[in-house]
Amino acid sequence: MSRSDKAREYRYLYRTKAWYALRKRQLLGSPLCNMCNDLGLAVAATVVDHTKPHKGDETLFYDPANLQSLCKPCHDGPKQSDEILRENFELDDEGWPLRRRRKKVAPLKFPGAPKQRAGGGP
């Protein structure tokens, strides 16, 4: 079985209500990218990453302590984001990163998340 077959097997976890709620809570609690933050950059996080790969393990998958907020470039690969950061990490006279400062922090959106309903619940 290839890695992608394996990944397809647990992709359903990302469509559960519990995950949507967890993801939302994570992004609201930590709206900035964790890896960019380490470099002193304030970048809106759009991806919730599992610090320890869950490989389909639901305990790891749903563990809030195993989550971190990341921007897409950081999530898509350390190498790729390293390159992006290096490129973006020239500072101007005031110490602001030259390119990143022009980027507006996008409002948080949760595409695919179930619509909030007043009251109700299971």
Binding site for Zn ion (CB under 5 A): 33, 35-36, 43, 71, 74
Report which of 76, 56, 77, 54 is spatially closest to residue 65, judged by C-alpha positions: 54
Dihedrals phi, psi of 62, to nearest 5 degrees: -95, 10
The nearest distance, CB 97 to Zn ion, in angstroms, is 12
**Residue 108, both tokens:** 């948080």
Choice between 61 and 84, CB closer to Zn ion: 84
Choice between 49 and 57, CB closer to Zn ion: 49
Letter for the amino acid at 41? Answer: L
The nearest distance, CB 20 to Zn ion, in angstroms, is 22
